[in-house]
Chains A and B, each alone.
Chain A
Amino acid sequence: GAVVSQHPSRVICKSGTSVKIECRSLDFQATTMFWYRQFPKQSLMLMATSNEGSKATYEQGVEKDKFLINHASLTLSTLTVTSAHPEDSSFYICSARSTGSDTQYFGPGTRLTVL
């Protein structure tokens, strides 16, 4: 089956630092990857859609200069939270859609805690 990995699974950082989260599709090529954020006991909120080789499309209210997305290859997308603050603490989940498929496969998520 399609497997998506994320690294790191958990990160704790100081306020003001930047954190990079990687999302990889392990056994398929992902033309499109998605980044979600989920606060405790809430739903998944789409942050941005990332297409390989082009700029990401951000959802309304998501600061593109704060959440930098790079989809440099068909198997890797990265999300960098720049100058992280405590309110950025959340569960960040990526998903990937393989070429020609309607199904999105989710990564295991990255729990970010900003002190």
Chain B
Amino acid sequence: GQSLEQPSEVTAVEGAIVQINCTYQTSGFYGLSWYQQHDGGAPTFLSYNALDGLEETGRFSSFLSRSDSYGYLLLQELQMKDSASYFCAVRDRGDKIIFGKGTRLHILP
């Protein structure tokens, strides 16, 4: 079967760093993406890794290890507005994207 595993919830303190892990098992792999979704809103694209290594975009970084079928999203200098759900997603064959169940990030002041 196809699955993406990520923690259901993570709690961190404002200003801190948090890492959200994702492991995947899919029939095809064309890249790992991360999306942010606030309550009541639609997902917004954060990052995309097609090759191994770290991609940095401002306070957010994403890492991929294809040999380990593993990736993570790193959020630095956490702000209250970062409280949201974060989804990892794998582009499977063709155009199909499979989403993980999402990680709810709670940020404490």
Q: How many A-B residue pairs have CB under 8 A?
A: 44
B96 to A: closest C-beta gap in Å: 7
Residue interface bits B61-85, CB-to-A below 8 A is 1, else 0: 0000000000000000000000000
Q: Is the CB of A108 within 8 A of B48?
A: no
Residue total for B at the interface (Cβ-Cβ under 8 A): 21
Q: Of the 9-residue stretches B17-25, B37-45, B51-59, which lies at the interface with chain A? A: B37-45
Residue interface bits A92-109, CB-to-B below 8 A is 1, else 0: 010001000011111111
Select one of A43, A97, A104, A105 contacting B100, CB under 8 A: A43
Chain B, residue nearest A111 (CB)? B40
Scoring B45, B50, B98 by chain A CB atoms within 10 A of each residue's CB, the highest score goes to B45
Residue interface bits A77-115, CB-to-B below 8 A is 1, else 0: 000000000000000010001000011111111000000
Main secondary structure on chain B at its contact with chain A?
loop
- Please, which residues of chain B bring their CB within 8 A of the CB of A107? 42
Q: Is the CB of A105 within 8 A of B101?
A: no
- A26 contacts the other chain (CB 8 A): no
Q: A49-B95, A108-B41 are in contact. Are A102 and B31 (CB under 8 A)?
A: yes
Residue total for A at the interface (Cβ-Cβ under 8 A): 18
Chain B, residue nearest A94 (CB)? B42
A58 to B: closest C-beta gap in Å: 12
- Please, which residues of chain B bring their CB within 8 A of the CB of A75? none
Q: Is the CB of B97 within 8 A of A46?
A: yes
Assembly CA distance A108 to B94 (angstroms):
24
Binding site for B on A (CB under 8 A): 32, 34, 42-46, 49, 93, 97, 102-109
Binding site for A on B (CB under 8 A): 30-31, 35, 41-45, 48, 50, 87, 91, 94-102
Q: A104-B97, A105-B45 are in contact. List 14 more A-B contacts (CB 8 A).
A: A34-B97, A42-B101, A43-B102, A44-B87, A46-B97, A46-B98, A49-B96, A102-B30, A102-B31, A102-B50, A106-B42, A106-B45, A107-B42, A109-B42
